[in-house]
Structure 1
Amino acid sequence: MARRDPPGTIAPHIPADAYRRAETTCAPVVIVVHTTDRTGRPLGRYLLPIAIAGAGAIGTFGLVAALLALLDFAAHTAAAIGTAAGPIGVGGITLRLARGKST
């Protein structure tokens, strides 16, 4: 009977004499692989939700900052228009938007 080499990727893990003995006696070869299970969750399971929450918080902060800048610009524009226009009157009621330097 011709000798054959151990199959594929199992070759480095089985000693040659054990493989030859199992081949000649037609005994099954039992391979025991010791593995350890991971405890807990991998880091990738936590990073995605944290990244999404962080992006949402930064986006909300930017939205609030833009709204405040817009309101500030609107207030400055209204003040500039009020000082340039002087008093506004409608139907006998006069409204002064800004006071002069004398009063």
Structure 2
Amino acid sequence: MSQHTPPGHMAPHIPADLYQQAQATGQPVVYVVTPTPPGIPWRRIVVPFAIAGAVVAGGWGLVAAICFLLDAAAHTFTVIAGAAGPIGLGGITLRLARSKNT
């Protein structure tokens, strides 16, 4: 009886005793190989671009939110400064906002 080693990576799922029995009796061993589709799997490419796009959109959203908050703070400051009028301390007067007349 000739001792053949089972093929390396082609059929690791065949138990050794069944392979040896098939070799001893002369039964054919059939390998079923599912072919991989040609080309690049799209999921491997799309997922990183989707993550990068979400990061970019989130960054622009953060910038827009900061601009909105700074604009609201500036308007609030001008309203409060206009309502408060000039602020004086020890003879030095500071006008925070100009009135419409001057």
Q: TM-score range by the shorter chain?
A: 0.5 to 0.7
Q: Mark the runs of 5 or more structure 1 residues left unpaired by the alignment.
A: 1-25
Partner secondary structure for residue 94 of structure 2 = strand
- Aligned-pair Cα RMSD in Å: 2.1
Normalising by the residue count of structure 1, what TM-score does the alignment of the two structures yield?
0.63
Give the gaps of 5 or more residues in structure 2.
1-24
Larger Cα-atom Rg? 1
Q: Which one has more relative contact order, counting CA pairs under 8 Å at least 6 apart?
A: 2
1:92 aligns with 2:91: yes
Structure 1 or 2: larger helix share?
1
TM-score when scaled to structure 2?
Answer: 0.64
CA distance in 2: counterparts of 1:32 and 1:59, whole angstroms = 50
User: What pairs up with 1:73-92 in 2 under 5 angstroms?
Assistant: 73-92=72-91
C-alpha distance 82-28 of structure 1, shift in aligned 2 (>3 A)? same
4+ runs of 1 displaced by more than 3 Å?
Answer: 30-40
What is the number of residues matched between the two proteins?
Answer: 78
| Residue deviations 1:57-102 (CA, integer Å, cap 9, x gap) | 1111111111001000000000001110000112221111112222
Q: Aligned residues: percent identity? A: 55
Per-residue CA deviation, residues 22-61 of structure 1 (Å, 9 max, x unaligned), is xxxx543254657655444211111211111111111111
Q: Return the alpha-carbon distance in structure 2 between the equivalents of residues 91 and 44 of structure 1.
A: 71
